[in-house]
Amino acid sequence: MSERTAVPEARPTNGSSTVEADRIAAVRRYDTLDALPDGACDRVAALAARLFDVPVATVTMVDTDRIRFKAVHGLPGVTEIGRDPGLCDSAVLSDETLIIPDTLVDPVACSNPMVVGPMGVRFYAGAPIVTADGHRLGTVNILDTRPRRVDAADAATLADLAAIVRDQLELRLSALNAVRAERERNRVEQDRRRAEEQARLRAERDRAAIAAFASTLQRTLIPPLLPAVPGLELACHYQTASPREVGGDFYDVFPLGARRWAFFLGDVCGKGAEAATVTSLTRYTLRAAALIDADPTVALTALNTALLLDASVGTRFCTAIFGMLDPHSDGGFTVTLATGGHPPAYHLSPDPGAGVRVETVRAEGGMLVGAFADATFASRTLHLAHGQGLLLYTDGLTEARTAEGARLDQEGLTAFLALRPGALTAGALVEDTVALLGTLPDSDRDDVALLALSVPARDTAAVAGITATAQSTTPALVGRQRRHR
C-alpha cells in the first residue's frame, strides 16, 4: 500500500517514455479502449462500492491522454475524462495500491477536476491492473466525498479486485486471439480452396484448349471422310489414347486416276507436336510419291528418304503399310501391298465350313521407315474377291492388354477374326474390332487406327452409302462406303 500525503508522482518522461509506450501498446493489445462496458467489470465496481461502503467505484483504462471507464458505480453518464494528474493517472504509474486519504491536502490531487469540481472527491484509492508481463493497463478505484483512511487489508482487497479484472482481461484476450486465429485459419482455408478452385478451372480450361487444339490438328492429319470407291466398301476408325495429345497414327484413301486407287495406314513413333510434324510429312509424301510411280515400294522408299533428310523430324521414324487398288474383271480388286516395319494386314475369306479363313499378308523384308538410309521394301499382291475383306490396323490394337494382363497380340486378333460370325463387310469388320477393344482394359492403351476394305458378295443388294470417319477416345461410329451398282 502506498499512501501519498506529500510527494507527487511524476508522469513518465524522457528515459521512461519507452516504458509508457510499451504500456500503451499493451492497452491496445488487450483491445479495451474502444470496447463497450464489460459485465464482469460492472460487478467488480459494484462489489468494491459495497465492500468499502463508498458512493463511487470505477474500473478505468488509462490511454495516452484520456481515461476510459470500463465500469462505473455511483457515477452515471460518465464514460471518459481527461488524463489529469492526481488520481487514476497517478495510480496507474504505481506498482502498489495508491491511497489518498484527503485529496485537498494532496499536492497533486488537490487540483484534479474531480476534486475541485462538482463531484468534490475527498478520498481516493486505486489499485493498478497489472498484466502478467508487468504492464499497468488501468486501475480499480474507490472514491468518497469525505476523507477516510483504509488499512493494509483494505488495500489488499482492492488489489485482489484489480487482479480479478486483469484475469477477465486475460480471458478476453485469449478469446479474442482464439477468434482471430480461427478467422485467420478460415481465411487461409478459404484462400486455399479459392486457389485450388481457380487452379482447377484453369486446368480444365487448359485441358479443354489442349484437347480442342489436338482434335483440330488431328483432323488435319487424317481424312475427314473416306472417298466413294465404286465396287468397294470402306470403313475406318480412329481412337486416341488421350484427347489432349495428338496421336501418331494415320491413314488415307485417295484416287490415282479414273479407276486406280491407293491407300495407306501407319504409325509414327511418339506423340505430340513432333509426331504431328512427321505424320503430316508422311501423309503428303506418300500421296505425292504414288502419283509419280504406281509401285508402293517406291512410295515407301521416297518416304524413307524424306524422313532422313528433313531436320525437323529428328530421329523419329514410322511404320507404314501402303497399297494399290486395281479393279479386276471379275468385279473384285487386285491389291498390291508394301510394308515398312508394320504389322501384317489380314485377308479374310468365307470358309466353306461356315467359318472365316484368315490369312496374314506381309511382304518379305520391309524395314522401319525413316530409320535406315539403306532400308529396303518389298511388295506382295493378292486378289480381293466378292465376299472378302482386308483389315489394316496399327499396333495399338495388338499391343492392348487383355483382362488377364497379357497382350492381345496377332495370335489373339487372328483367333478373334476367325471366330467372329457374320459377313466380311468392311463396316462389320471395324465394328466388331471396335467392340473387341471395348472389352479390353483402358490402362496403358495406345492410339488405334483401323482401315477395312471389302468387296460385297455377289448376292448383296448394294446401294450407295455414306462416307464418314470415326475419331474418338471411346468406341465410336464407324464410317463406311458401299459400292455403286
DSSP assignment letter at 438:
H
Q: Which residue segment(s) compose the domain that 397 sits in?
A: 222-481
Whether residues 142 and 244 share a domain: the answer is no
The per-residue pLDDT for range 316-329, each reduced to its tens digit, is 789 999 999 999 99
Is 198 a domain residue? no
CATH number, residue 321: 3.60.40.10
**Tell me, what's the pLDDT at 422?**
80
Query: Grid coordinates standing for 84?
Result: 489529469
Confidence of residue 248 (pLDDT cuts 50, 70, 90): confident
Secondary structure element (H or E) that encloses residue 130, with its range:
strand 123-130
| Number of Cβ atoms within 10 Å of the Cβ of 455 | 27
Handedness of CA 197, 198, 202, 208 (dihedral sign): positive
Beta strand 56-62 with 80-82 is unpaired
190 vs 216, residue with greater confidence: 190
The answer to the question of residue 216 being in a domain is no
Task: Tell me, yes or no, whether 136 and 284 share the same domain.
Answer: no
Please tell me the distance from the alpha carbon of residue 106 to that of residue 5, in angstroms, as a whole number.
5
Between residues 60 and 209, the one the model is more confident about: 60
Given 129, 150, 180, the domain boundary residue is: 180
* pLDDT tens-digit map of 7-29: 344 444 444 678 888 888 888 88
Q: If you search the block for the grid coordinates 494386314, which residue do you land on? A: 345
Residues 325 and 389 in one domain: yes
Query: How confident is the model over 28-53, as pLDDT tens digits?
Result: 887 655 555 668 889 999 999 999 99
Q: Hey, is 396 helix, strand or coil? A: helix
Nearest of 426, 382, 222, 251 to residue 321 by alpha carbon: 251
User: In Å, how far from its chain's centre is CA 109?
Assistant: 69
Specify the amino acid at residue 404. E
Q: How far apart are CA 283 and CA 449, in angstroms?
A: 14
- Say yes or no: 280 and 169 in one domain: no
pLDDT grade, residue 258 (50/70/90)?
confident
What pLDDT does 182 receive?
92
Q: Domain end: 180, 208, 241, which one?
A: 180
Q: Are 406 and 432 in contact (CB under 8 A)?
A: no
Q: Which of 118, 153, 180 is the last residue of a domain?
A: 180
47, three cell numbers: 462489489
Task: Give the three cell numbers for residue 10.
Answer: 511524476
**For position 136, which CATH number holds?**
3.30.450.40
DSSP state of 15: G
Which strand (E) or helix (H) includes residue 250?
strand 249-255
Are 345 and 264 in the same domain? yes
Verify that 160 and 234 share a domain, yes or no: no
Bin 272: left if φ > 0, else alpha if -120 < ψ < 50, else beta.
left
Q: How does DSSP assign 102-165, residue by residue?
A: -GGGSTTGGGSHHHHSTT---EEEEEEEE-TTS-EEEEEEEEESS-----HHHHHHHHHHHHHH
3-state secondary structure at position 168: helix
Q: Is there a single domain that holds both residue 236 and residue 175?
A: no
Asked whether residue 203 is assigned to any structural domain, the reply reads no
How many structural domains compose the chain?
A: 2
pTM of the model: 0.57
Average pLDDT over residues 273-297: 86
Residue 369, SS3?
A: strand
Could you tell me if 164 and 276 lie in one domain?
Answer: no
Grid cell listed for 305: 528418304
pLDDT tier for residue 254 given thresholds of 50, 70 and 90? very high
Same domain, 373 and 320: yes
Please name which of 225, 230, 278, 281 lies closest in space to residue 252, comparing C-alpha atoms.
225
Domain assignment present for 212: no
* Residue 288 CB neighbours (<10 A): 13
